[in-house]
Structure 1
Amino acid sequence: MDYKKMLEEKKRLSEGTDDKSQKIMEQVIRRVIAGDWNMTPDGTKAEKAGVQTSKDRGPRIHDMMRKEFVSCDEEKGILTLAFEVEEWELNPNGVMHGGLIATAMDTTCGMLVRYLSGKLGASTISLNVDYLRPVPLGDRLLVTARVLRIGRKVANLTAEAVRASDGKTADAAAAVFYLGE
């Protein structure tokens, strides 16, 4: 199902409800950020949907990186999250480690594609990151993910990371996700 058809179907299914799909998307993303990672796109617990979870495995990078919801636009396929740069995330040069920048971009793209596709098993096939400017301790990295295409099995996205301190683009990425079963 292509992206536009999927949105039309979501709108059709939500007709007659008081909740707007935009608000539902924001609520689900906020709950995921708050640590309830195992949410299905309709906002129910994955355990109830029969999906295996990772609750008992201990803290994950998703939990360790401080992030917050900034904005989303379901119709345009856009999600923006803010990541605080902390001491433990620094490389030997005293700026955010490139691997954690990639993780922030992958996390944002992953949340977006998981929500829009309805596939809990969405996983990264490739993530190509261009590192343009350093991101210092104490700054915030604003990561905006955009869907280019969601197909039956694969989704293509882009992401841009902007330093909150000066509004300059720090990093850019292209991502491909496998949508799973």
Structure 2
Amino acid sequence: MENVITFKQMHVVSTSLGECTAELRVGLEHTNPTGTLHGGLASTLMDTVSILSYMTTSNGTIGQTIDLKLSFLKAAKVDDDILIIGRTVKTTKTLAFLEADIVNKNTGDVLVRGSEILHIVKQYHVV
């Protein structure tokens, strides 16, 4: 089980009101058969960091993703350091509109750009 993907490999490096940034070094376990960052993992990373950005503004509410759109602009390869940057654009009583980018940390190139709509469903409690 040496190639198991875990969120232990992604580290949150900064948060502020409505924003969250995390980083990850792309490993072989993060890639598709062509050797680049797997699109499903990119989607998961963006969804996770976007929701974390919302949680900085949410007063204890959480939601479910009801729409997620991604544009894959450039590939990330093994040993690339990437930043996942999530932003809360707007919130209403029942919806949150979020954006995220995956950026090559060394070049600044935007690799993936996405938007998300979150349906706000309930209070959460940190245990």
TM over 0.5: yes
> Aligned runs of 1:116-131 on 2, under 5 Å?
116-131=57-72
Relative to the length of structure 2, the TM-score reads 0.85
Give the aligned partner of residue 79 of structure 1. Answer: 20
Q: Which has the higher contact order (CA 8 A, sep 6+)?
A: 2
> Aligned runs of 1:1-181 on 2, under 5 Å?
64-65=6-7, 66-74=9-17, 77-181=18-122
Deviations 1:101-144 (A, max 9, x none): 11110010111213321345411111100000000011122011
Deviation at 1:84, TM superposition (A): 2.1
Any runs of at least 4 consecutive aligned residues in structure 1 with deviations exceeding 6 A, and if so which?
none
Aligned-residue Cα RMSD (Å) equals 1.7
Whichever structure has more helix as a proportion of its residues is 1
Gaps of 5+ in 2: 123-127
Distance 2:88 2:56 in 1: 11
Distance 2:29 2:115 in 1: 26
Whichever structure has more strand as a proportion of its residues is 2
Identity of matched residues, %:
25
Which amino acid is the alignment partner of residue 37 of structure 2? M
Gaps of 5+ in 1: 1-60
Instruction: Report the number of matched residues.
Output: 118
Which amino acid is the alignment partner of residue 116 of structure 2? A
Distance 1:142 1:115 in 2: 18
Relative to the length of structure 1, the TM-score reads 0.61
